[in-house]
Amino acid sequence: MTEIVVATRNQGKLREFRAVLGPENFKILSLDDIAFSGEIAEDGADYLENARKKSRSVAKACGKIVLADDSGIEIDALDGKPGVHSARFGGADLDSTARNEIVLKLLQSVQHPKRTARFRCVLSISLPDGRKYNCEGICEGHIAIRPKGKNGFGYDPIFLAAETGKTMAELGPEEKNRISHRAMALRKAVQECLMFF
Ligand code: IMP
């Protein structure tokens, strides 16, 4: 079984990585499993820069195949914001509920067809010998009028996924993993790269 370290401390993301890659016969290790205690600043100009920085630093430290993602939500009525700054939008110390409230307030005067948004996930895979690979997944949808659902994490309660008519937080894990930006990017990574290791 091929071991892959996933360079995240976000438990929601970790669960999704395990759910998609576990059945493909990969053993997923977390940063805690490899006792990586370093902090990697996500100060890159775009998703790829951040994802690559994370995967490269951890691969150098542990000598294993490392997968990192950088992701975010892009809201058209806010000119694509919060985008790469999604994790800290509105203030680094806010929780997801408060962050979602800020987004809903900013969109108060924006009516339905104009509430379009997408989740984007960029994955970077780094090997200890310096080889690297990246791919992207996108999930299109709309921002809801109010939060709904208890599953998932982050912006899931306010994101209506296009094909479902439900917020991401109303979907079960299997449904989210069928359509999400992260699952799409991961399936590409398996087919185009990880299955050859
Ligand atoms: P980062 O990739 O660690 O910089 O964090 C990206 C941020 O985007 C997360 O903290 C969430 O707020 C948001 N995000 C990314 N993917 C998802 C998702 O699948 N659901 C909800 N929020 C997400």
CB of 100 sitting under 6 A from ligand 1: no
Helix (H) or strand (E) holding 162: none
CB of 180 sitting under 6 A from ligand 1: yes
pLDDT value, residue 157: 98
Cα angle value 50/55/58 (rounded, 5°): 125
Structural domains present in the chain = 2-196 (3.90.950.10)
Catalytic annotation on 43?
no
Select which of 70, 76, 79, 93 is catalytic.
70
Model's pTM, two decimal places? 0.96
pLDDT value, residue 163: 81
Task: Round to whole Å and give the CA distance between 190 and 24.
Answer: 8
- Cα within 13 Å of Cα(151), Cβ side: 15
Looking at ligand 1, which residue's alpha carbon is closest to its atom 7?
87
Task: Round to whole Å and give the CA distance between 81 and 62.
Answer: 34
Strand pairing of 26-29 and 81-82?
unpaired
For the chain of 197 residues, list the mean pLDDT of each consecutive stretch of 10. Answer: 93 92 92 93 94 96 96 98 96 97 98 96 96 97 98 97 94 95 96 91
pLDDT value, residue 34: 95
